[in-house]
Structure 1
Amino acid sequence: MNYKDTLLMPKTAFPMRGNLPNKEPIRRQDWEERNLYEKNLERTKGRPLFILHDGPPYANGDLHIGHALNKILKDFITRYKSMAGFHAPYVPGWDTHGLPIETALTKKKKIDRKKIPVAEFRQMCADYAMEQIDNQRDQFKQLGVRGEWDNPYITLTKEYEAAQIKVFGEMAKKGYIYKGLKPVYWSPSSESALAEAEIEYQDKRSPSIYVTFETSDGKGLLEGGEKFIIWTTTPWTIPANLGISLHPNLEYVVAAVNDEKYVVAHDLLDQLAEELEWEEVKVIKTFKGQEADKIVTKHPFYDRESIIMLGDHVTTEAGTGCVHTAPGHGEDDFYVAREYGIDALCPIDEKGYFTEEAPGFAGMFYDNGNKAVTDKLDEVGALLLLKFITHSYPHDWRTKKPTIFRATSQWFASIKDFRQDILQEIKEVNWYPHWGETRLYNMVRDREDWCISRQRTWGVPIPVFYGEDKTPIITDETIEHVSHLFKEHGSNIWFDWEAEKLLPEGFSSEHSPNGIFTKENDIMDVWFDSGSSHEAVLMNREDHVRPADVYLEGSDQYRGWFNSSLSTSVAVTGKAPYKTIVSHGFVLDGDGRKMSKSLGNVMVPSKVLKQLGADILRLWVSSVDYQADVRISQDILKQVSESYRKIRNTFRFMLANLADFDPNIDAVDEADMEPIDRYMVYRLQALIADVREEYDQYEFSSIFHQVHNFCAVDLSSFYLDFAKDILYIEEKNSNSRRSIQTAYYEILTSIVKLLTPIIPHTTDEVWEYIPGVEEESVQLTDMPKSRKVEQFGQSEQQKWDHFMNVRNDVLKALEEARNDKVIGKSLEAKIKITPKDNETKQVLDMIPNLHQLLIVSEAIVSENDTGAKEYKHVLVSVEKHAGEKCERCWMSSHTVGENEKYEELCTRCAHIVEEHYA
């Protein structure tokens, strides 16, 4: 007889290799054909609503790995919530206006936008954006992200733009919108104003100069001829200088150096003397800044005055304590000059070139002006020192080129008017990570106004009309009418129709006695677009779900979407648009470097999917601490693949050992299960409780590590290993065998459900092979709930936990015996275990078939073994078992040969063969 034929060996068609790149697309197509997403929504209808509101990615270009991290994290949440008692639809969105799309058309498609009618160019932008959406949508779906892909929200749609106009109108009605002249971030490369959220800082090499301004009227404090020293890294702004700011409470000195008298802050004198290499310095006068108010100096090379002003923005952190003040090129400069009735001078045009208001430099690009202005200062003897420094400088985050401050007439949202309301709402939000609250709070606390106008073409028009006297007209009537027109025709009509046609019929205004109106040509900041989504999307749903449960985006969105959404929502409703903020870091390469094409370290999601599959990328997302910056590389993905294989093999092993198990017939009542099986079911309940709590806290990496450890340690290294002796060897319907299968079944179905939000392709595949399941897909099931295990209390848990510690001692002893060549495989061993304390003795005494759990041929609990080695909980001695090896179970036994018919078998195996296979 071939004894192998008498063994109940594992059987399953579930493949060992995932072959994910080839199988996942087929599976996703099957999901779509079976309408699994819609079926799930129908299944969860009537449950409490959970809304994760999607922050719109920009519709331009292929997805990068940061997009994958973001969308996969969102998918974890919505999939989990739909399995955890909620109705959790997911509506993806796209941000579609702005400069990158204009640039793509002008550069890639060689479109000259200035030679094309505005409305025609805008339609080309819209068409391009929709092409990009189709491309990105396919790529997002390839990641296994589930949602309403055929019904996303898109910021260029008529309905969205109409809602955005209403948000603008409501803010204007409350007095938060105004037009004013002030310095704003200006991008010469984009020819447009920028908001703070559109600024990023990069290192820049700049000239650092010290310049003198000679006193012409000392107002009785100074004699005249003294020279105030200013320091600046933007020499090109000197033509716009109208004054010098001192701090009213700082102490200033007149310092005699050679034949000159210089005015600087007292606290900076020594540092300045070293910088300018002054050898002999004599302080001849000291005074407070406030005493110098309105002293008059002469501009270094123009025939005009530069007045001394007082401002609290002056510090002694760097420079001279005398601050060059050009109100057309600095926010602090602008405000301090306004206090003195001095208007801003801004001799730079929208492209960054000097105008005629800067004699001697007109027509020159501002950056080239640095050298020209410095040469002029040197020529007139006003330049004390020139050197170069590298410092952090604001750049346009789209074009990556430097920005300037430039005073222009812009539309603003006055954040300061409702800042306290925003700060209060920030305190009411849940933050993951917790430092997000402080970060956004500090940003809002220091924010004055939000520049919302842009001098571009592709965007939502600012719905403002002007009367004949140039007064802006924004009324409830005009806003409602424009919103209605946009909803019916789209915003292109703003550029196609004359102002009179865009106004309500019969509209009149005291500002236009002749009935002649004009319209604003600027568009809104794209952050106003996306920041209006709480109105355009959340409030346009049937269920009106503002505030959303969660906003989840990258950490750069504290200054972006989190910020603009909060500002517009609090302005309109008084409340935050979200209950919870979750943010993630950036994706770096394996060495912690930023990814760039020049470094050749860019990891593209599409390539990962072709090489490894979406579930590997999703498992990587679950494995990292996403709230900080994360790393990815081929080596890291290889490690993730190993973890995936461990989990997949665990699934396969349990499936294979459930081949003859019908849960409706063969399951053992919990009260009749073997103690070790009840213990493993108990361990499972603890895992379920922990994992569900971690899902609720958005701690996905903890889920990954807990489940992986449970599969690798609790199951593979212990439970699945020792159970082979029972599953393969014992009689098919024995209680011990069916008890293990009952435990396997619950463990398998539970872990498959727990991992479904993370690796849905794989768990859906496993589900097809599990016997007895009723649902057509694991995606149409609910998360397991942790429960009390029958006849298993705290004392049983403590005993079994203690046994696992004793087992660790035995494993060490077996390993040492193997290294000493006492035994080969553990089944060759006979061990004696001497408990070191009464608790350990009680634990060992309670376990039947101790040798099976320890995977040895014989285990004796001894009271005294003088030759044993001491370990933490027990003394252990290991020797080679003196019996013969059973050809069926491979254990060494003294009973081999006792049955004359089956001489190669131990009595246990002989009995089973005789009863069932003879």
Structure 2
Amino acid sequence: MATDYKASLNLPKTDFPMRASLAEREPEQVAQWEEKAIYKKMVARRMEQGAERFILHDGPPYANGNIHHGHILNKTLKDFVVKYQNLAGNLCEYVPGWDCHGLPIEHQVDQNLGEKKREMSKVEIRQACREYADKWVGVQASEFRRTMAFGAWDDPYKTMSYDYEATTLRTLGRFFEKGIVYRGLKPVHWDWDAQTALAEAEVEYDEFRTEHVYVKFPIAELPENLAAKVEGKETFVVIWTTTPWTLPANLAIALHPELKYQLVASGDEVYVLAEGLREKVLEDCAIDAEAVEILETFEGRELVGEIGAGFGEQDGVRHRFAASHPWIERESPLLPADYVTLEQGTGCVHTAPGHGQEDYVLGQEFGLDVLCPVNQSGKYNIDLEIEADKGPMNLRGVHVFGANKVIPQHLAKLNRLLNQPGERIVIERYPHGWRSKKPIIFRATTQWFIAMEPESAGNPDGFRLREAALKEIENVQWVPGWGQDRIEGMVKGRPDWCISRQRSWGVPITAMYCNDCDASIATRELADYVADMVEEGGADVWFDREPKDLLPPGTTCPGCGGTDFCKEEDILDVWFDSGVSWAAVLETKLGWGDVADLYLEGSDQHRGWFQSSLLCSVGTRGNSPYKACLTHGFVTDKQGRKYSKSSKNFEPPEKMIEKYGAEILRLWVASVDYRGDISLSDEILKRVADAYRKIRNTSRFLLGNLDGYTPDKAVAYDDLYEIDKWVLHRTAETIERMREAYQDYQFHTIYHTLLQFMTVDLSSIYMDVTKDRIYCEAPDGPKRLAAQTAYAGVLNALVRAMAPILSFTAEEVWQYLPHSADEPESVFLADFPETPAEWTNPELAERWERLLEVRQEVQRALEEKRVPRKQKKPGQIGSSQEAHIRIHATGETLELLRDYSGQLDALCIVSYADVLEGEPSEADKLVEVEVEPADGKKCPRCWNYWIAPTSDDETCKRCASVVDELNAENT
């Protein structure tokens, strides 16, 4: 009966689980980290060492609802940075924050309160908002912890904390002191559903179907040369608009002085149109282009003069010529404007200063009123009779989007419409409210603004915020690089910052109004005085106390000297709230200084937090609050659609974590190029889970074969086998590549580098080649210990390098690794690996790369000869160990193979390997390989074939020696 040699083999042995069971075991690991205070110890260790601080400042998400996939992406990327920086020797604390004020929270509280809200004071409503926000801070913190993100979750910053609110007011006071805050009547994004102004960052863009109209404005007076051409025909300046509802507010028409215009005769009428848009207008209005006559071509300056020219004043407005409003008795002067283009329309631009930014600026230049006949609900607040298809009607109380339908009908009945009423087009990017999801309007209201140019605030010699911000943008590292162009373009083109909101839940604008003369007080002194009270009792004090109790002693009206005041009721834009976080958190709460090394958020924050933080910092102290800004894309489904709760095209993150574990989501984040939009689906996570299993199985194999090994058994580098040294060289290269990728925030490079190394260099090559030594040599023999030394060195380095990404698995592996007495309890209390200098051996690596190329040729030849074991016939091989190979080579390759001839059988996992001189049969082949069945008998212990001296020899010489040694130890 054949002897069973299995007990004599060193088969893998480890308690490291084969199945990760991530969803079940991750919460246990999170609890252990918190119980052992691993994050706090990690930070304290670097503090004790006096390590250089790396500041990653957290952008605050809204404390409203459960976390979504974008949160997972964002917090995981930040966690990669925090953990790497600490492992790399820096002090990097993570203090999470929450944006607790503003419309999203107040809107939800309004819905929760219902009719009860009518009976509540503003302070009571604010208290309900505070409680609501606090609840969701707790919920989200728990959800973020589940992703295994490290941080000060028990001591976050909140924009509603009293000290934070006080800093917000002190920052506002600095702006007051700069003289660039003003109150004015200007058109702003207006959410008629929420009844508040919106910042650009609070506007989303989506498709919107609307009427479009070509409207005829009669013009009676023209320059003599043009009047002669029309010969008494009724003449019209034609405008095009997709907002017919703004026509009641039309006060002018803009033309470009340098564009060519034409008098186009069609029947008894003549139209003023831009030459470059004539064909498109005629097509849209179903006018036969062959039937029209071009009476004259002229430049716009003949109607409007030059930009900046001094016109004569008519009725308070400087202009040359004027058209008449289509149905309201007033003129619409023709004015010069350089923003008129030939991209669309007619080249004659409808101008309503109360409903558009460019319209407003032009109106201010030429003395137009800021007419806005629309109330806060988006309904007309004037009496205006029109004739719709269903009969006469008054526009008072009609919503503007309803007027979009009836105004074209009215124009058609007056013969003032060139196209047909009811024609609709799709505007691909129309502004919508970020919370209401409804299309919004531009509406002139009295608001508080921070001036980008001091002239807006009536202070031409004051601080130039736009210029200073653009200068600072150049000093920031933008990752990816196109972020700089994007934010520069936004800052260059942005209007003054509207900082007031008509809501209750937020930080007040500390301004007072004299009840006797209506003069205002908005000073740093007042802001700082109130801030001191807010620091003690929160911003509710502004809404709860009388004006006299909020004013510094001795305050009098700057206009009339009076002492009777009323308070400003508006609150600050929440983007101003979060924009001062560098001061409230980094400077005041933490005392780290006021410039972060890194801000890391989604690409939408170029117009959001990145920009508001930049403006608040540059506007009050002249420099950027960050050294670098890193942006990531949005998470989309497999069709490329952005994940959103409203469209319900997603599986909630908590469900994905229950199914796959947070570790798989972390690895997914690392696997993608986050700089663009990122797809997430079940299929993608399954692929990531497959990659994870390869990493885990490789780690488990290494651990299993370290059974019985301790660091004191390590073999000196010089005594290792060359292939052991090769794998250490490749480890050093891999670690260095991962280090560089971490420093450059190229996390997908880390993922691919790690996976490639573990599946190819380790699993397919090194572990495969060393199995014989590991399994079959004596447990503490030098050959096995040499391989184990390499196994331990490789895994110890890899586990620390992958810890920022695969945090659960790295910690789990760390607990099973054989450690020396001075190694810490957690992988996160260790250092990022610095591989020994001797590991880097490029000359040896070059030789072994050539040998491994030969190995590939051998494997191809073996594969061609291999047949399934059950189908094998005499003269055929099943496994590679049944083979005897002959390698034919020439030149340097032949010399190399002869030098390593004694190692080729082990390298190629065959029983015999011979090296012969001979040319390969094909020019592109490195070597020629012959394969034949190995002579001799199969060793039942190692499965290699050998030539037995006698028929009584059961095992090969090596195995017999090991077995004898083991038997001697056991007797």
Q: TM-score by structure 2 length? A: 0.91
Within the alignment, does 1:400 sit opposite 2:400 as a pair?
no
Whether the 8 Å contact between 1:245 and 1:324 is mirrored in structure 2 is: yes
Other-structure match for 1:362 = 396
Unaligned runs of 5+ in 2: 305-319, 386-393, 454-463
**Does the C-alpha gap of structure 1 residues 3 and 285 become closer, same or farther in structure 2, counting only changes over 3 Å?**
closer
> What SS is found at the alignment partner of 2:155?
coil
Greater shift, 370-379 or 60-69, is seen at: 370-379
Please say which of residues 463-472 and 24-33 is displaced more in the overlay. 463-472
Counterpart of 1:913 in structure 2 is 963
Counterparts of 1:476 and 1:441 in 2: how far apart (Å)? 30
Aligned-residue offset at 1:671: 1.2
- 2:211 aligns with one of 198, 207, 212: 207
1:263 maps to 272
Match for residue 502 of structure 2 among 449, 455, 460: 455
Q: Aligned match of 2:296 in 265, 268, 285?
A: 285
> How far, CA to CA, are the matches of 1:583 and 1:862 in structure 2?
58
Letter in 2 for 1:659: D
> Match of 1:34?
36
Aligned positions of 1:389-538 closer than 5 A: 389-392=425-428, 393-416=430-453, 417-467=464-514, 468-538=516-586
- Asked if the contact 2:890/2:918 (under 8 Å) is kept, the reply is no
* Residue number in structure 1 paired with 2:317: none
Which deviations, in whole Å up to 9, do the C-alpha atoms of 1:436-460 show, x marking residues without a partner? 1111111111123111111111111
Alignment correspondent of 2:24 = 22
Decide whether the 8 Å contact of 1:247 with 1:313 is kept in 2: yes
1:879 aligns with 932
Select which of 636, 639, 654 maps to 1:606: 654
1:641: Cα distance to partner? 1.1
Question: Counterparts in 2 of 1:143-292, with a 5 A limit?
Answer: 143-218=147-222, 220=224, 223=227, 225-279=234-288, 280-292=291-303
Amino acid at match of 1:739: A
Measured in 2, the distance between the counterparts of 1:579 and 1:267 equals 47
**1:122 corresponds to which residue?**
126
- Comparing 38-47 with 842-851, greater Cα deviation is found at 842-851
Residue 63 (str. 1) matches residue 67 (str. 2): yes
The code of the aligned residue for 1:779 comes to F
Partners of 2:366 and 2:789 lie apart in 1 by: 85
| CA positional deviation for 1:869 | 7.9
- CA distance in 1 between partners of 2:87 and 2:812 (Å): 18
Q: Relative to structure 2, which stretch is displaced further, 263-272 or 853-862? A: 263-272
1:267-298 deviation line (CA, Å, top 9, x unaligned): 22233233323332222234322222331222
Structure 1: segments with no counterpart, 5+ residues? none
**1:335 aligns with one of 334, 358, 361:** 361
- Is the Cα–Cα contact under 8 Å of residues 466 and 519 in structure 1 kept in the other structure? yes
Counterpart of 1:388, as a letter, is R
Q: Does 1:381 align with 2:434?
A: no
Give the corresponding residue for 1:348: 374
Preserved contact between residue 173 and residue 525 of structure 2 (Cα < 8 Å): no
Superposed displacement of residue 807, structure 1: 1.1
For 1:656, which of 690, 697, 704 is the aligned residue?
704
Partner of 1:582: 630
Equivalenced residue count is 912
Deviation track 1:577-605 (CA, whole Å, cap 9, x = no partner) reads 11111111111112323334676530321
Q: Aligned letter for 2:640?
A: G
Of 327, 330, 345, the residue aligned with 1:304 is 330
Distance change (3 Å), C-alpha of 1:544 and 1:779: closer
**Separation of aligned partners in 1, 2:194 and 2:901:** 77
> What amino acid is aligned across from residue 619 of structure 1 in structure 2?
L
Paired position in structure 1 for 2:905 = 851
Secondary structure of 1:253 counterpart: strand
Q: 2:838 aligns with which of 775, 789, 807?
A: 789
| Alpha-carbon contact 1:799-1:843 (below 8 Å) kept | no
Amino acid at match of 2:139: N
Equivalent pair of 2:521/2:558 in contact (CA under 8 Å): no
Deviation string for 1:6-56 (max 9, x for gaps)?
Answer: 112221111111111111111111111111111111111110001110000
- Secondary structure of 1:419's match? helix
Question: C-alpha distance in 2, partners of 1:771/1:67?
Answer: 37
The CA deviation at 1:432 is: 1.2
**Counterparts of 1:831 and 1:636 in 2: how far apart (Å)?**
42
Bigger Cα displacement from structure 2, 521-530 vs 466-475: 466-475
Match for 1:79 among 76, 83, 90? 83
In structure 2, the residue matched to 1:705 is: 752
Does the residue aligned with 1:728 lie in a helix, a strand or coil? helix
Contact 1:314 1:322 in 2 (8 A): yes
* Residues 919 and 927 in structure 2, CA contact (< 8 A), matched pair in contact too: no
Comparing 9-18 with 408-417, greater Cα deviation is found at: 408-417
Q: Secondary structure at the match of 1:488?
A: helix
Q: Which residue of 2 aligns with 1:772?
A: 819
The whole-number CA distance in structure 2 between the counterparts of 1:587 and 1:889 is 51
Q: Does the C-alpha gap of structure 1 residues 337 and 598 become closer, same or farther in structure 2, counting only changes over 3 Å?
A: closer
1:686 and 1:786 in contact (8 A); partners too: no
Answer yes or no: is 1:675 the counterpart of 2:722: yes
Which secondary structure does the structure 2 equivalent of 1:73 belong to?
helix
> Match of 2:350, SS?
strand
Could you say what secondary structure the match of 1:287 adopts? strand
Q: Does 1:835 align with 2:889?
A: yes
- Identify the range of structure 1 (846-855 vs 823-832) with the bigger mean alpha-carbon deviation: 846-855
SS of the residue corresponding to residue 838 of structure 2 reads coil
Equivalents in 2 of 1:168, 1:300: separation in Å? 46
Q: Would you say the 8 A contact 2:632–2:676 is kept in 1? A: yes
Match for 2:937: what amino acid? E
1-side partners of 2:323 and 2:698: how far apart? 82
TM-superposed deviation, 1:544:
3.2
CA RMSD of aligned residues (A): 1.8
Identity, in percent, stands at 44
Structure 1 position 334, deviation (Å): 1.3
What residue number does 1:4 align with?
6
Distance 2:282 2:524 in 1: 62
Q: Deviations over 1:446-501 (max 9, x none)?
A: 12311111111111111111234222212232121011111111111111111111
